[in-house]
Amino acid sequence: MQLQSQFVLRCILPAFASMLLCGLLFLSLSWAAARSDEVAVARQRDLVTLTVVKLKAGIAHDQESATVWDDAVKNTQSGNLEWIKTNLGSWMHSYFGHDAALVLRSNLTPLYRFTADAEYSPSTDDLRKAK
Contact 124/115 with Cβ under 8 angstroms?
A: no
Which residues does 121 contact at the CB level (< 8 Å), separation at least 6? 115
In one-letter notation, the amino acid at residue 37 is D
Q: Block means of pLDDT (10 residues each) for the chain, length 131 residues?
A: 71 88 96 94 96 90 81 88 88 86 85 82 70 58
Give pLDDT, residue 3.
Answer: 66
Give pLDDT, residue 116.
Answer: 84
Give pLDDT, residue 1.
Answer: 61
Name the CA dihedral angle for 52, 54, 60, 61, rounded to a multiple of 10 degrees. Answer: -160
76 CB burial (10 A radius; 0-12, 13-18, 19+): buried
Dist. CA 131–CA 123, nearest whole Å:
14
Give pLDDT, residue 65.
Answer: 80
